[in-house]
Structure 1
Amino acid sequence: MPPQNADGSDRQPSALTPFRYRIFLAIWIASLASNFGGLIQSVGAAWLMTSIGAPADLIALVQASTTLPIMLFSLMAGAIADNFDRRKLILASQVFLLVVSVALTLCAYFDVVTPWLLLGFTFLVGCGTAFNGPAWQSLVGEMVPRSDLPAAIALNSMGFNIARSVGPALGGLIVATVGAFAAFAVNAVSYLGLIAVLARWQPARPPRALPPETLRSAMAAGIRYVAMSPNLGVVLMRGAVFGVGAIAIQALMPLIVRDLIQGGPLTYGLLLGAFGVGAVGGALLSTRLRQALSLEALVRIAFLSFAVCAAVAGLSSFTLLTMVAMALGGASWVLALSSFNATVQLSSPRWVVGRALALYQMATFGGMAFGSWIWGVAADGYGTADALLIAAGVLVAGATLGLRLPLPELKTLNLDPLNRWTEPHISVDILPRSGPIVITIEYAIREADVAAFLAVMAERRRIRRRDGARHWTLLRDLENQEIWIERYHNPTWLDYVRHSQRITQADAAVGERLRELHQEPGRPRVRRTIERRTGGPAPDPGSQAHDLTEPLTDPTRSS
């Protein structure tokens, strides 16, 4: 339940409302400390690689070795997060990162680090981060109610940007005064708080009625769900475009300092700090802005504001003006990315949210990686100022893209499970792996309602395929033109049960509309059959053919 005042009335939501939930506050504080540690370690790794005389290409690979695992393993991590306890997965990831950081600290302390060994350690850190990310982001939905999810996501982004504002400078101070090994040690200690909080938290989890999906099928199901969900496709595309354009600021910031405002390390730190302060401000304003604006309007403003940031940074030669631009960019960064993240979570039911977030993360990080390379090439060929102006143009184009591909408004979309379907009683002894299962549903539709029926069935087809149905077809009886038959396959009986339990409250409207169009007394008749091969020895129960005919008592249970 949302927090209430002493008189029992609901409090007005604000950007800080999620902090009223004790577990969210505890994990947020612990994550803030962990973010500080991670940024301090990144400074130590970069400096250590430089100090041991590594060539420039290996120095550049430090950042790549951390981000590459996110591209490689995010979908796998999302599939695992959706099929197992997310809290335990995060806990395992944090323990793994702790072990890696301790090992790196010891190697640095005893001065046995080589360039390739350091890259190996940073790659392992990236692997731990990749498996932690989807589980951590999707776990937020278990800490706060749906109404506070966008604010919670913005606060998480704010926490990271607070760390990014101060962490690198603190890391540089630690490396300069004590050594790189101390930066690694600080990072190792930073994991302990989050591990302790996660170990003590025991959230109530509903019992799992079905066994977990295999990793391969879970990954395929995640890709299929996103591909068959127009709302998610729009978010991934817009997120990738934003990543390509907005990353220009961070990729070219050292060149902005050196070439455009003729500054030094202090100026670089000021610009980073201004970007972080703007991000914190954007997070604090996000809830009020979401109440005043539509989601699409907010994202368009974020695109255009970041375009202004890039343009001013490209044209300005004054440090103060560039700092103001960076603050605007930081606010826009948080508003856009937190809006995308919240839209993905609010557009995905809990069974697939980790995989949806993983694919969003891959699209956005992929856009950032591609953009970093593009803007580096552009700055080398045309100059830093022109590269930033081109990036501003890309961001304006991204805002314009919203005219054709607007983000959905999700305030009324209910993706909780419908929970009306119950596994039917069957008279034949089959196994969960028995199949393929063929489902046919017979409708009686008047000629005058055919156009409306076909329109509803188009949405039915998308939902069926999105949730795992195969070979979906719609047939019309040649002898009785009012009879229409929906037909689809599931590979096994277990897949059929899993598919049927994925129906959401939002999907129920399709079933209700089909019930209205069906003209015969009772509900549409459902026939469940299992394919059988002909000839040869008698098959085992997993492949025997049986007619599992049974009418439904509710149209939504035909799923």
Structure 2
Amino acid sequence: MADQIRQGTEPSTWAPMASAIFRGLWFAQLGSNVGTWMQTVGAQWMLVNEPNAAVLVSLVQVATTLPVMLLSLPSGVLADLLDRRHLLISVQTAMALTAGLLAVLTWAGVTTPVVVLVLLFLMGCGQALTAPAWQAIQPSLVPRAQIPAAAALGGMNVNVGRAVGPAIAGVLVSVSGPTLVFGLNALSFIGVVVVLIAWREKKPAAQALPMERPVAALGSGLRFIRNAPAVRRILLRSVLFIVPASALWALLPVVAHGALHLESAGYGGLLGALGLGAVLGAFGLSRLRMRFSANELMAASAIVFGGATVGLALVPSVIVVALVLILAGTAWLVVLSTLNSSMQLMLPNWVRARGLAAYMVVFMGGQAVGSLLWGGVAGLTDTVWALIVSAILLGICAMSVATWPLPPTIGQLDLTPSAHWPEPALAFEPDPSDGPVMVLKTYQVAAEDIDSFTSLMCKVGEAQQRSGAMQWGLFADGNAPGRFVEKFLIRSWEGHLRQHQERNTAAVQAVQAQAEALSIERPTVRHLIAATANAPRGGK
């Protein structure tokens, strides 16, 4: 991807807008994001005059964000197993009804703090259920080359909603109370549903295998991540940036109220500066990607965000702080769009939502843990020292790019599904639940090719484990020089059939073809199915 970008082939940030469905969903999501932030402000306003208002107001954020952390992985499983469009339509409709119920109860004057928090928690569950599916449908909306641009536009969407929603809600709540903003939020979900209904997604060919069981699907998703070094590296880079960067977000209200002596409107203006920076970052991102590699952008953005954090800590000027927050918003957008698009480009369709769900857990968890960490550091020392320490860690994050860079293969692997394995020819047909299944594949390799062969087979082993193998190994036959046996174990016959029909990609096919080309003889394959007393196989 970096080489293509340097050659000037990076699509414009606005290229995805040429797709009518992407454009429609983008504007519908923008309305929904604005509505969600309006709802948050309205709910907080309702609770400020209650006893224990500080606790109740903070619980508004907990009610909306906690479900994302708790349900993202199960939601990723559902988004990979079910029709993503139907899932989105169903959950968005339920969220519209829930928001409408909150508006009606508020209009009737019967909304209590408990009712507000319960309904907000239910809508947070809806957001958690749909977030992986939203991310996973992006490759169905735009060409693969436009995924980084689509990620940038998605980040801009969220930040515009964050900047505009509270400002609109502040005006509406002061004029008519929270009922109106709750009702508008319900309408914003209906807009998304209408666009989704109008979308006619191109369906892949129907699979002969039944839907994978949810628990098994969760296990296969985690197994994929565990055996995908590129995906693990993206998650590591997320943690290294998010945890120190969360200090700015967590301590900005404290600085705004204390050192800068601002009221809530002024704090909203500072949030708006961050949102403006994100918008400007989206405008210039395609040019930046043409000039710099992803790793250079990651390092530079960490430095810029760290510099903005120092400015927030040391400069008691509202204007200067607003300017550095614009830079921070740009850096935030660059990092998040780079990480998000990298994840999408490294995940095959069968596991895309589960991989993106893991990314969301890392992202949200990093922010949550980081906020608690920096709040504790500020409590033990003061806000200035907490921000400076976080800036130092962001500098270390930038330097760590040299040691732990994003992989150069991002965007270069062909993840098109490939059923290149021949269907297994057996004397009997196992039941799908039979297993474990041991597959033995024998190669005969010339002495001069052994080093190249074993190197390639390490990549094959990672691919086998990503696609479902619980164990994998390559063994040299002690009685036959140059003979190697590849052995891998799958939990069930159904799992092995999924390897054949669903989970291999063209990139895996290319590596396996290189390894097989080094075998003097055509490799032979044997399938061994675990035998039990109750289910004898192969005869009467």
TM-score, normalised to structure 2, is 0.94
Which secondary structure state, in structure 2, belongs to the residue aligned with residue 442 of structure 1? strand
How far apart are the structure 2 equivalents of 1:300 and 1:279? 17
Partner of 1:544: 537
Matched, 1:485 2:485: yes
After superposition, the C-alpha distances for 1:228-254 in whole angstroms (9 at most, x for unaligned) are 111111111111222212222221111
Aligned match of 1:151: 149
In the alignment, residue 460 of structure 2 is paired with which amino acid? Answer: R
Q: State the match for 1:354 in structure 2.
A: 353
Greater shift in the superposed pair: 348-357 or 110-119: 110-119
For residues 98-146 of structure 1, the C-alpha deviation after alignment (integer angstroms, 9 at most, x for no partner) is 1111111122222222222222111111100001100001111100000
Shift of 1:44: 0.9
Match of 1:513 in 2: 514
Q: Which amino acid aligns with 1:224?
A: R
CA shift for structure 1 position 512: 2.1
Task: State how far apart, in whole Å, the 2-side matches of 1:422 and 1:292 are.
Answer: 44
Distance 2:269 2:54 in 1: 26
Contact in 2 for aligned 1:251/1:375 (Cα 8 Å): yes
Q: Which amino acid aligns with 2:379?
A: D
1:84 to 82, 85, 92: 82
Which amino acid is the alignment partner of residue 466 of structure 1? R
Identity of counterpart residues, as a percentage? 34
Q: Which residue of 2 aligns with 1:332?
A: 331
CA distance in 2 between counterparts of 1:106 and 1:139 reads 33
Q: Which residue of 1 aligns with 2:456?
A: 456
Check whether the contact 1:259–1:384 (CA below 8 A) recurs between aligned residues: no
Map of 1:144-183 to 2, 5 A cutoff?
Answer: 144-183=142-181
Give the superposition deviation at 1:35.
0.6
Tell me if structure 1 keeps the 8 A contact 2:428–2:537. no
Aligned pairs, number:
529
CA deviation profile, 1:30-61 (whole Å, cap 9, x unmatched): 11111110000000111112233344323322
Q: What SS does structure 2 have at the residue aligned with 1:528?
A: strand
- Structure 2 gap segments, 5+ residues each: 1-7
Give TM-score scaled by structure 1 length: 0.91
CA separation in 2, counterparts of 1:87 and 1:509?
A: 32
Greater relative contact order, per chain length (Cα 8 Å cut-off, separation 6+): 2
Cα deviation, 1:327-346, whole Å, max 9, x if unaligned, reads: 00111111101110000000
The answer as to whether partners of 1:78 and 1:354 remain within 8 angstroms in 2 is yes
- Aligned with 2:431: secondary structure? coil
User: Superposition RMSD on alpha carbons, in Å?
Assistant: 1.8
The equivalent of 1:554 in structure 2 is: none
Task: Report deviation, 1:422.
Answer: 4.1
Q: Deviations over 1:204-235 (max 9, x none)?
A: 10123122211111111111111111111111
Q: For residue 531 of structure 1, report the CA deviation from its aligned partner.
A: 2.1
Aligned twin of 2:249: 250
Unaligned runs of 5+ in 1: 1-9, 547-559
Q: Does 1:50 align with 2:53?
A: no
Q: Which residue of 2 aligns with 1:416?
A: 416
* Corresponding residue for residue 22 of structure 1: 20
Match of 2:190 among 164, 183, 192: 192
Q: Is the 8 A contact 2:440 2:525 kept in 1?
A: yes
**Partner SS, residue 280 of structure 1:** helix
2:276 corresponds in structure 1 to 277
Compute the displacement of 1:12 (Å): 7.4
Contact 1:436 / 1:531 at 8 angstroms: preserved in 2? yes
What residue is the counterpart of 1:345 in the other structure? 344
Name the aligned partner's letter for residue 58 of structure 1: L
Separation of aligned partners in 2, 1:422 and 1:148: 34
Counterparts of 2:305 and 2:9 in 1: how far apart (Å)? 33
- For residues 33 and 146 of structure 1, the distance between their equivalents in structure 2, rounded to whole angstroms, comes to 26
Structure 2: how far apart are the matches of 1:83 and 1:511?
A: 28
The Cα of 1:500 is off from its aligned counterpart by 2.5
Take 1:405 and 1:314, find their aligned partners in 2: how far apart are those partners?
A: 29
Alpha-carbon separation, structure 2, partners of 1:268 and 1:56: 17
Instruction: Give the match for residue 219 of structure 1.
Output: 218
Distance in 1 separating the partners of 2:266 and 2:50: 27
What is the rounded CA distance, in whole Å, between the counterparts of 2:470 and 2:218 in structure 1?
16
State how far apart, in whole Å, the 2-side matches of 1:472 and 1:14 are: 43
1:236-273 deviations in Å (ceiling 9; x for gaps): 11112222122222211111212222222332122111
In structure 2, the residue matched to 1:5 is none
Question: 8 Å contact 2:10–2:290 — kept in the other structure?
Answer: no
**Counterpart Cα distance in 2 of 1:314 and 1:41:** 31
For the residues of structure 1 that align with 2:181 and 2:411, how far apart are their CA atoms? Answer: 44
Looking at structure 1, the residues matched to 392 and 292 of structure 2 have their Cα atoms a distance apart, in angstroms, of 24
Give, in angstroms, the shift of residue 386 of structure 1.
Answer: 1.7
Matching residue of 1:375: 374
The equivalent position to 1:117 in structure 2, one of 110, 115, 118, is: 115
- The aligned counterpart of 1:468 is 468
Distance 2:418 2:291 in 1: 31
Distance 2:318 2:474 in 1: 65
Change (3 A) 1:12 1:59: closer
* CA distance in structure 1 between the partners assigned to 2:471 and 2:155 by the alignment: 42
Counterpart CA distance in 2 for 1:220 and 1:238 is 23
Which position in structure 2 is the counterpart of 1:552? none
Q: What SS does structure 1 have at the residue aligned with 2:125?
A: helix
